[in-house]
Amino acid sequence: MSRHELRITCRRAEVLLDAYLDGDLPSPRRGALERHLTGCFGCAQELQRARLLRDQLRALPERFAGDHVTEAALVRLRREGGADGSRFRRQWSLRWTPAWQPLTAVAAALLVVFGITRFVTRPAVEQSITPADVARAETQVRWVMAHLGDINRRTAEKVRDDVLNQGVAQPAARAVADALGDTPRQ
């Protein structure tokens, strides 16, 4: 394998599958992903599931709401959310402002001040870095990056499932179904 040849891990493949299905993946990455898919049964199965989901979503019938449905939805939004929708803005702004953010900002500021103080007041010491130290640091960075990727994947799934599906898609489907007089699908 040449130095510039791309290697795809299973985690990276998960991230690239949507772009691959949409045809938006650049040629070098597409080739690397295809090589990975030929040798990884799990990722190939995930590609099949993603392709099936995409095809099922595209097969859903399009329904267009008439003007009366749009007007009924606007009336209901004004009635439930105030004339300017401030209740919804307030609710969403609180939902997206976790309580830990101010504490994290304070901790980060203290850490920066502490770091600058330590850097300025430290004595000059010659250090020798061995290849084993470099290899250990590289391994630690890989583990941290893998862990952060896992956290990112789980967070994206949580946002998709909890916020977008339950907070946006299902209420919108119920509102449209109510306006059309249909019973919503569960």
Q: pLDDT digit string (tens) for 72-97?
A: 888 887 777 655 555 555 555 555 55
Dihedral, CA of residue 138, residue 144, residue 148 and residue 150, to nearest 10: 100
Distances from the Cα of 49 to the Cαs of 54, 76, 81, 178, in angstroms? 9, 38, 39, 32
| Within a domain: 49 | no
Give the chain's mean pLDDT: 78
CA 28 to CA 83: how far, in whole Å?
52
Query: Which class for 13: exposed (0-12), middle (13-18), buried (19 or more C-beta within 10 A)?
Result: buried
Structural domain includes residue 104: no
Range of the structural domain that residue 164 is part of: 140-186
Residues 30-64 have pLDDT tens digits of 999 999 999 999 999 999 988 888 888 888 777 77
pLDDT for 156 equals 80
Q: Is residue 149 part of a domain?
A: yes
Distance CA 63, CA 60 (A): 9
Tell me what pLDDT residue 112 has: 86
Cβ atoms of 35 and 20 closer than 8 Å: no
Q: How many distinct structural domains can be found in the chain?
A: 1
Q: What is the pLDDT of residue 87?
A: 55
**14 with 43: CB under 8 angstroms?**
yes
Return the SS3 of 86: helix
